[in-house]
Amino acid sequence: MINPIVQNILLFKRLSEYTPEQIQQVLQGETAQTVAVILVRLETKKAQGALTLFPPDEQSDIAFKMATAKSIPPEFLNEVANEIGNKLRIFDDKDGGHAGAGGQDKMAEILKHMDPSKSKGLLDALAQKDSSMSERIKGKMFLFEDIAKAEPDSLKRSLMSIEIETLALALKGASEEIVKAALGGLTDNRRKMLISEVKYMGPRQRSDVDGARSSIVSTLRGFLDQGILRMKGDESHDEWV
């Protein structure tokens, strides 16, 4: 039998992988108290998204329960975990879109360690077969093109550890959007150095460019995992002050 504490942790881990729409569907029909117990423990953006999908009268009841939530008796938490856990199993059986999440996690891990050009090609091929699945896998990883989607201040901190020569090489042939984001993520002095390096850099082999990009992506993925690098719209980390 699974330890109740472990069961609670697994429940919220599973729910965190669902969309707000899916979370609301799972919680439909539950008491305001049960819904509040779940939402108050989820990431803010998903909890907010799920809450707004309930009818207005239910929203107010749930919001009140969330706002007045205090310590929850372990016995009640265990009951909620059992009940919602059973609903999740039924929901997963009906919703083929969520099935295979484990395989998608594995695929994301594999793609993380591939050369950027190869991983992009494979993702493009997957998108032709199932665009939503491809997007879910992309959401679990970080590609060179995602530099343009990074939050500027956190990108500036992250790029400090990357050599200007490596960054200049990686930017050869990159889109204007990526170049602009990279330049915006540098101090004035390093920006001037990068512009100078790019200006005087001659033709380079594609394998060299891919190698530089792979090196940068590896570094940035590490910063992303540590919470140093953040993506635009990501509210899962505290702000730097």
Encode pLDDT of 67-87 as tens digits: 887 777 777 777 777 778 777
Q: What is the mean pLDDT of residues 168-188?
A: 91
Q: What is the pLDDT of residue 6?
A: 57
Q: What is the pLDDT of residue 8?
A: 62
Q: What is the pLDDT of residue 194?
A: 93
Encode pLDDT of 7-23 as tens digits: 566 677 777 778 888 88
Q: Across all residues in the chain, what is the average pLDDT?
A: 80
More confident residue, 155 or 122: 155
Q: What is the pLDDT of residue 195?
A: 93
CA atoms within 13 A on the CB side of 145: 9
Q: What is the pLDDT of residue 119?
A: 78
H or E segment at 185? none
**Are 112 and 105 spatial neighbours (Cβ–Cβ below 8 Å)?**
no
Flag whether pLDDT at 55 surpasses 70.
Answer: yes
pLDDT band at 193 (very low <50, low <70, confident <90, very high): very high
pLDDT band at 96 (very low <50, low <70, confident <90, very high): very low
The model's pTM: 0.48
Domains and their CATH numbers in the chain = 4-94 (1.10.220.30), 102-138 (1.20.5), 144-226 (1.10.220.30)
**What does the alpha-carbon distance between residue 144 and residue 218 come to, in Å, rounded to a whole number?**
9
Q: What is the mean pLDDT of residues 99-112?
A: 68
**What does the alpha-carbon distance between residue 64 and residue 133 come to, in Å, rounded to a whole number?**
36
Report the SS3 class of residue 71.
coil
Flag whether pLDDT at 166 surpasses 80.
Answer: yes
Q: Give the CA angle between residues 54, 79, 22 to the nearest 5°.
A: 30
